[in-house]
Each structure stands twice: as structure tokens, then as C-alpha cells.
Chains A and B, each alone.
Chain A
């Protein structure tokens, strides 16, 4: 399994290069939204031979706008050609409402799932690659389990699940849906994320996927579960999007690698 970090802007790319030099990461995942103004050949020169995964935040393919989708499609194609991409991943969520951006992405309604399946199929066909779609850090219970909905999605479209292990933990804490249930979902097994989470200042009963704190022990226990079943060429990103404490990030990477080693599935091309 390749272990990497996310880079969302030039600010964090410098840290990622440091983690590459210290042997902590085997690849980087670029949030393509934050690098749209740059030549991907320059990015390749900067990261050297490090493999690159691609994450998309705001294509909003569930709320399709032709110009916006074309923008992302051109970006992905250009980065694929000039930088090479391990994978392409995107999100299923509401990012806006009545034209107004939402400050917090909201979960879709699994009772109205068929339009989502249709949208994933269409976006995946346009991208011309297997799309990995991320599970959501649920905030409220639903009588249709998210894992069941994603199983239906993966079977209908052939997409992969970008299994965000800590999102599944957040969902478990907020809704009671067991995170381990994802282990049997079709499409889970090649693409993984994890990050820290924390209680909301609004109410401690609401857990937020904050990406600003150390990874929890519960998340790492799940990593061992998923890594034990993962494909040999699987990838796992340890994400940080705020409070970029390099020591904490490095420690999270070490702990994550240890959890993967515990599953006896580690491939460490950059570590001795």
C-alpha cells in the first residue's frame, strides 16, 4: 500500500516535499482545484518521480454546469497527460443551494439515490477513467445506511469507493452506523483517506470532519481492518487541511504506516 499526503495549495506542497525527502510519503494527492493556474509539468518537476493522485473538490457534478464540468474535465485531462495520475476521485455531497455556496457540505438524501447513480455514471464516462467517490462524514442518522447506498452505486456504475476511514468513524459517532460495515462494500479496497476529527463547538454531540487534529486510535484500528483486505496497489492519504503542524502530520504518518504494517500489507518504495 502506498501512503501519501494531500496537497491543497502551494502552501502545503512545500511540507509534502519535506515529507517526501524524509521518506514519510510514497505519493501525493493533489487537490486539482487549488492548482488550476499551474502547469502540471511544473508540478511534476517539483515532486520528481513521486506518484500523484487527483482529488476534485468542487466539480459539483451532481449539480451539473457544462462550463464548470468542462473546466474540470480539461484540467484532469491535462494533468493526466502532463503529470500522470494514479487515480481520479470526487465527492458526493451538496456544495451549494439555490446558487449559494454552503459553508459545510451536506449529505445527499439516499431516498433519492438513482439521480446520483446516473450522475456518477455520466461524470465517470466523461472522465474516461474509473472514478473513486468518497464516502460522507454523516452528521444525522438516515434509515438507509450510506454503505448500502454506495454498494448499490458501485455495482451499478463500476466506480470505486474512496474509503475515507475517518469519515466512516465520524458517521458512526454521529449516527450509530457501524464503520466496519464498509469493509464488505463493493468498490472498497484500493483508495483510502483518513484525517483527524473533533467535536463541534456548537455541540459536542456533533462530530466534525475537521482535518486539523491527530488521527484517532479508532480510525487506526479501522485502517488495520481495511488494509488487511486492500489491493496490493492500494493508496492511502493522511489528510491535513488546517493546523498544519508538521510534527503531528509526521507522527500521523508513522502511526498509519504502523497500522498498515500490522495488516502485513505494506509496500514501502521510499522507506528503508
Chain B
């Protein structure tokens, strides 16, 4: 019989550093959990190089973020960078407007690979970026690549929090904002 931690412990350890630390040091299960957390680190920080360079310690901050996300029920799908923005705000870490834009653009880029809908367009904004929004557009035809751009929406007032809006056709004829 191959000795393994219970499956629920192994799965928990792939999303929580605390759960990883509860696995036996040097075990295969712990190594796999560490690999999962390493990959997520890259998913988070590789797309926000300017902000990552300014943060004092990405390892401690990253692990605190993961624990907060698990405890608060934040789903780290294409919205991961939006939740990271939310977390940094809660931690009182000062963010510049370009940090907001970088985080929104990172989320938009991850949305391209999000599989569960057929929408062509996504718009993202925060109170800091309004009246500008980050727009992600999938192509109309198979060879047209996705694009992320910063655009101004006349009449979009700054409002607290992070908001997003999907557009089936990508024309954003109607912007219906959803809070994060």
C-alpha cells in the first residue's frame, strides 16, 4: 500500500499554504502541493510585473492572499487578479492607477482562456480607473487574436469597488455592471 495523506488533505494543500504545511515534510504529497502553489504564484505575478516589482515580499503576501481567498470563498478563476486587488486594498497597500489597470488587464487576459461562456467581450473598471475601462475582446473569426485595451466610457462615473460587464457580441451596446 502506498502511503498517502487523505485525498481531501492533499487537495486542500494545493490551494492553501497552511494545509500544505500540515503534510509530512519531504513527502511526495507535499511536493505536489508545493508545485501547485508554485504554478499559481506564476499565474498571479507573471502578468503583473510592474506591481510585483514594487511589492515588498511577494511570497508572504501571496500566501496570505491564498489563505484569505479560501476563508472568504473567493474563487480564483479569471477573477483572481480582481480578488488580489480587493485583497491589497483590504491590506492597506497603496495602489496607483496604473496598478489597477495592470491588474484589470491581467484578469482580462485570463478571461480569454475562461471556458464556460460564449461571450466575446468583457469590460472591467474600478473607482480609480473610471471613466476608463479595460476591455477584452475575443476575435470575430478563428484567426483573429484577442485584444485587451484601455477605453473611455463617456458618462461612467467613479464608483467604489470593482465592476465587470460581459457582452455577448462584444459591442457593449448595453453595459450592465456586476460588482465583484
Contacts and interface: CB of A to CB of B under 8 A. Distances in A.
Contacts of A272: none
Contacts of A203: 31, 35
A106 interface: yes
Interface in B65-124: 69-70, 73, 75-77, 112-113, 115-120
Interface stretch (A33-41, A123-131, A146-154, A190-198): A33-41
A109 B143 contact: no
A37 B116 CA distance: 10
A35 B142 CA distance: 8
18 contacts: A10-B139, A10-B144, A17-B143, A43-B142, A57-B115, A68-B116, A71-B117, A98-B11, A103-B43, A104-B32, A104-B35, A106-B14, A106-B32, A109-B7, A139-B32, A139-B35, A143-B1, A205-B31
B179 interface: no
Interface of B: 1-2, 4, 7, 10-12, 14-15, 28-29, 31-32, 34-40, 43, 69-70, 73, 75-77, 112-113, 115-120, 138-139, 141-146
Contacts of B32: 104, 106, 139-140, 206
Given A34-B115, A42-B142, A46-B142, A103 B39 contact: yes
Interface residues of A, number: 42
Nearest to B146: A10
Contacts of B117: 36, 71
Contact of B115 (A58, A102, A140): A58
A201 B34 CA distance: 10
Interface string A20-51: 00000000000001111110001100100000
A264 interface: no
Nearest to A208: B35
A139 B30 CA distance: 11
Nearest to B144: A10
A57 to B, nearest CB: 7
Contacts of A115: none
Given A97-B11, A103-B36, A106-B14, A143 B76 contact: no
B11 A101 contact: no
Contact of B35 (A9, A46, A71, A206): A206
Most chain-B Cβ atoms within 10 A of its Cβ — which of A58, A103, A139?
A103
Contact of B76 (A13, A36, A101): A101
B34 A141 contact: no
Nearest to A112: B7
A38 B75 contact: no
Contacts of B145: 9-11
Interface string A130-141: 000000000111
Contacts of B142: 10, 13, 35, 38, 42-43, 46
A180 to B, nearest CB: 21
A14 interface: yes
A102 B139 CA distance: 27
Contacts of B75: 99-101
Interface string A55-88: 0011000000000100100000000000000000
Contacts of B73: 99
B10 A106 contact: yes
Given A97-B15, A202-B35, A206-B32, A14 B143 contact: yes
A103 B34 contact: no
Contacts of B146: 9-10
Contacts of B77: 101
B16 to A, nearest CB: 9
A104 B116 contact: no
A57 B37 CA distance: 21
A185 B74 CA distance: 42
B11 A106 contact: yes
A235 to B, nearest CB: 21
Nearest to B114: A33
B52 to A, nearest CB: 17
